Amino acid sequence: MTFIASVVAKKGVAIIADSLVTSAEPILHYQKFLDYLVSQPNNEQGEKFINPDNIINLFSSEPVFTKDYEEKLFKVNKYTAITTTGEAYINGKNISDLIEEFKAPHNETLEDAAIPLEDKLSLFAAFLNEQIKAHIVTNSVMGYVVFIITHYEKHSHKTKIFKATVYAVDNSHLDDDNYDYVTLEAEQEWAKVVCDGQNKISEKVLYGIGKEMYERFPIFVNNILSKLNLPVGLVPENFIRDLIEDDYFNSIFYGDVALFNLNNLSLQQAVDLASLLMRLEVDFQKYTKNIPTVGGVIKLAVIDEIGFRFLSGDKVEVPKHINY
């Protein structure tokens, strides 16, 4: 996993990404296996009946080790950047090589300010589709990966952010030439912070628990109805939505925790906030049972009227343990 974020300012945008890549392997925990054994019936000889297929299903994919210094923040042109999280390799290539392969034949188009941004994004989505399809032909499956595309418009001082998402998929769609492996969506203009990866702590700081409740509350209500043996549609969905948006509900689930005052940030404030969110994710993982999946070299960049430029993480530095 990783953490990537774009924080919008009045006249610019700050972009941040870490550099860890986490590899996962099928893991079966001792207690889970023991619980399975206890739950199984005995055969006529009083021995536990073990079904190999059930054993296989007990395994789950979990992070086991990390690798540092993987590129996750890329300059596309003077006013556009891409960050990525999820799968680190597509079609046998790391994301850095993949971005360069995309840029090479399209560089003139990408640099031409007269060509609409949406046309450039369509080129990127089409390129990703080809690479993902080739990946699935070889590997049968493709894991989850997200690209956040951040573009700053110099004259209007507006930042446009898009997400290109590839959901986990197998080879069942290979015969469908029209199947689209990439979901390209524009983020709402009011979204001043767009992040992905290991971003649960950041989202709760920014939005309290209200955002998660807004997404899950209808499911929660229907689960209660089901447990009470009442019709799931007993409470109309629009009523649930109206309830969630009620002032009293908002005071409970949002309250003072959420940082709604994100409009009109200076570029310095956007840089500071992006760095703070990264620090939250890096530090908080120390208190979880999982291995660290966010960290390493942190790349931080901005795009403003001058254009794209790195602030940190893009240069080779003298090792701190060497004393000159």
Percent of the residues in the chain that have a pLDDT greater than 90, as a whole number: 51
pLDDT band at 114 (very low <50, low <70, confident <90, very high): very high
pLDDT at 256 over 60: no
Q: What is the mean pLDDT of residues 112-139?
A: 95
Give the C-alpha separation, 84 to 319, whole Å: 27
Confidence of residue 79 (pLDDT cuts 50, 70, 90): very high
Q: Tell me which of 241 and 36 has the higher pLDDT.
A: 36
257/195: higher pLDDT: 195
The set of residues, in sequence order, having a beta carbon less than 8 Å from that of 5 and lying 6+ positions away, is: 15, 16, 17, 83, 193, 194, 195, 196, 199, 202, 274, 277, 278
Residue 238 has pLDDT above 70, yes or no: yes
In the predicted structure, residue 231 carries a pLDDT above the cut 90: no
Whether residue 103 has pLDDT greater than 50: yes
Q: Are strands 307-312 and 299-304 parallel, antiparallel or unpaired?
A: antiparallel
Task: Specify the pLDDT at position 134.
Answer: 96
Do residues 164 and 188 lie in contact, with contact meaning Cβ atoms separated by under 8 Å?
Answer: no
**CB 131 within 8 Å of CB 114:** no
The distance from CA 95 to its chain's CA centroid, rounded to whole angstroms, is: 15
> What pLDDT score was predicted for residue 99?
96
Tens digits of residue pLDDT in 278-295: 999 999 888 877 777 888
Q: Any idea where the domains of the chain sit in the sequence?
A: 3-28+62-201+261-312, 209-256
pLDDT tens, position by position, 21-57: 876 678 888 999 888 888 888 877 778 778 888 888 8
Of residues 38 and 174, the one with the higher pLDDT is 174
Residue 257 has pLDDT above 50, yes or no: no
- pLDDT above 70: percentage of residues in the chain: 89
Number of neighbours of residue 74 by Cβ within 10 angstroms: 23
pLDDT of residue 211: 59
- Position with higher pLDDT, 247 vs 205: 205
The pLDDT of residue 259: 53
Q: What value does the mean pLDDT take over residues 183-200? A: 88
Sign of CA dihedral 117, 121, 124, 126: negative
Q: Are 1 and 284 in contact (CB under 8 A)?
A: no
The fold adopted by the segment(s) 3-28+62-201+261-312 is: Glutamine Phosphoribosylpyrophosphate, subunit 1, domain 1 (3.60.20)
Q: Of the spans 64-78, 152-166, 197-211, which averages the highest pLDDT?
A: 152-166
pTM, entire model: 0.80
pLDDT at 107: 94
How is residue 233 annotated by DSSP?
G
Q: Which of 68, 66, 40 is nearest to 52 (CA)?
A: 40
Q: How many CA atoms lie within 13 A of 322 on its CB side?
A: 4
Per-residue pLDDT tens for 140-167?
989 899 999 999 999 999 999 999 999 9
Q: Where is mean pLDDT largest: 133-137, 185-189, 259-263?
A: 133-137
pLDDT at 258 over 70: no
Range list of β-strands (E), the chain = 3-9, 12-17, 21-27, 60-67, 73-77, 80-86, 89-90, 93-94, 141-142, 145-153, 158-166, 169-170, 183-186, 193-197, 299-304, 307-312
**pLDDT confidence band for 193 (50 / 70 / 90):** very high
**70 CB-near residues (< 8 Å, 6+ apart):** 19, 20, 21, 88, 94, 95, 96, 296
